[in-house]
Amino acid sequence: MDGTATPGTTFAAAVVPPPGDEPVRLPPPKVSRFSYVYPVKGCRTTYERRRLVLPKTTIWAGRGCAFVAPVDGVVREVNVQNKWKPSTDQGAHREGRYVTVLGEDGVLYLGGHLDTVAPGIRPGVKVKAGRLLGRVGNTGNARSTASNLYFAVSWPAPPQYWWIRRGMVDPWTFLDAWWDGNRTFSPRAAMLAVRERVGTLPACSVLCAGKAQEPKPKPTQKPEEEEPKVIVPLNVEPARSGQ
């Protein structure tokens, strides 16, 4: 056949679909009673979605970008001093300036490597999701990198257990959800599962020890000079003549 019409052949007219409305994006289902926000506000960011060494992530953002409370809660720890030194690399100081918030969901959130801590942020202060906690920087052991936010999810523990606050739960799944608009996706269940598995106060197992410092040599002391001995002659009576 050459494709030409023959007597008795009919063709159906092309079907033209009616005009439709733009698709409506439905809000995600509510999966918890808590409400969350993405922890960096007003800036373009990127972050790792895989574990490198620790269960935390680095949120790359410009210096001075706002670090905000991801959920309603209470400020737990505030460190305004950048104590980290490469010569000692003490684990408790690696996050530089940082703020932790104990959320009303029972989860502890840490934002570290801050350039500054926001005025009025101190332990015991109640905060709402979205409140400014500090500004992104590169303090601590990030001083040779671009500015970023060290973001970690864990549970409250005494300060001497610093390796808990630095991250126990992989956070990027929750960051993805909060960024995409699912504001009720909570890390609480994941936190409780990890804590049940490892215990409330697990021992440190990764990047625990700092650098040992060599003892400082004692200054060389000049030996004390001995005082010259004074020889006192014995009193000898002179010989008497005629005896």
pLDDT digits (tens, 9 = 90+) for 81-140: 999 899 998 989 999 999 999 999 999 999 999 999 999 999 999 999 999 999 999 999
Q: How many domains does the chain have?
A: 1
What's the mean pLDDT when you consider all of the chain?
Answer: 87
User: Is 34 within the bounds of a domain?
Assistant: no
pLDDT of residue 243: 45
pLDDT of residue 211: 77
User: Is 209 within the bounds of a domain?
Assistant: no
User: Is 236 within the bounds of a domain?
Assistant: no
User: Is 3 within the bounds of a domain?
Assistant: no
DSSP-derived secondary structure for the chain: --S---TT---PPPPPPPP-PPPPPPPPPP-SS-----SEESS--EE--S-SSSSEEEEE--TTPEEE-SSSEEEEEEE-S----TTT--GGGTT-EEEEEEETTS-EEEEEEEEEEPTT--TT-EE-TT-EEEEEB--GGGTTS--EEEEEEE----TT-HHHHT-SB--HHHHHHHHHT-TT--SHHHHHHHHHHH-SSPPP-SS---PPPPPPPPPPPPPPPPPPPPPPPP--PPPPTT-
Domain that holds residue 181: 40-198
pLDDT of residue 89: 87
Let me know: does 132 contact 118? Beta carbons within 8 Å: yes
Nearest residue to 133 (alpha-carbon basis) of 80, 79, 68, 76: 68
- pLDDT greater than 60 at residue 2: no
> How many angstroms separate the CA atoms of 143 and 123, rounded?
26
Nearest residue to 207 (alpha-carbon basis) of 62, 52, 61: 52
User: Is 186 within the bounds of a domain?
Assistant: yes
pLDDT of residue 132: 98
**pTM for this entry:** 0.77
User: Is 239 within the bounds of a domain?
Assistant: no
CATH at 47? 2.70.70.10
User: Is 128 within the bounds of a domain?
Assistant: yes
User: Is 132 within the bounds of a domain?
Assistant: yes
The answer to whether the Cα torsion of 46, 69, 168, 196 is positive or negative is: negative
